[in-house]
Each structure stands twice: as structure tokens, then as C-alpha cells.
Amino acid sequence: MKRLVLDATVAAKLPELLSPVELVDAAGNVLGVYVPDLSKYGLAVPFTEEELQASEAEPGGRTLDEIMADLENRG
């Protein structure tokens, strides 16, 4: 993989990011996507973006209210 050295202004902004962000030029053209390395925070996501999207598209599931009601009825 090739490397690109960023200027100090851009490099200073990246550690604040906890989710992917599009990198654009002054005209708003997308140049790419920056995906932060969250492993240093213990927050690494063990799923690919495709796996997350597939999971969201699956039918079924319960709302938080339904889950909470079920838990309350068990106690």
C-alpha cells in the first residue's frame, strides 16, 4: 500500500474521528474515505460494512420497547 504524508492541519483533525469520513477537495469532489483505526480505543468493529448492511436488511427483530417489556416480565 502506498502512503501519503498529510500536512499538519489535516493530520491534527484525524484523531478526533471515530467513524469513517469522506475526504473531499475544495470543490467538494470525493477523493476517498478515511476509516480510523479504532483498535487503539478498544472499539474495533468485528464486521465489514457489507456484513452490517446485510444485517440491517434482514427482516424481523424486535424494538427496544419490546425487549424491555420482555425483560420486565421475566423479573
Give the tens place of pLDDT for each residue, 12-66: 998 888 889 999 999 999 999 998 887 777 777 788 889 989 988 888 888 889 9
Cell numbers placing 30: 470525493
pLDDT at 9: 92
Range of the domain at 61: 8-74
Q: Give the pTM.
A: 0.48
| Number of structural domains found in the chain | 1
Q: Decide if 39 is inside a domain.
A: yes
Q: Decide if 2 is inside a domain.
A: no
Q: Decide if 12 is inside a domain.
A: yes
pLDDT at 47: 86
Please give the Cα distance from 30 to 1 (Å, whole number).
Answer: 20
pLDDT at 69: 92
Q: Decide if 42 is inside a domain.
A: yes
CB-neighbour burial class of residue 51 (10 A; exposed 0-12, middle 13-18, buried 19+) = exposed
Q: Decide if 50 is inside a domain.
A: yes
pLDDT at 7: 92
pLDDT at 19: 87
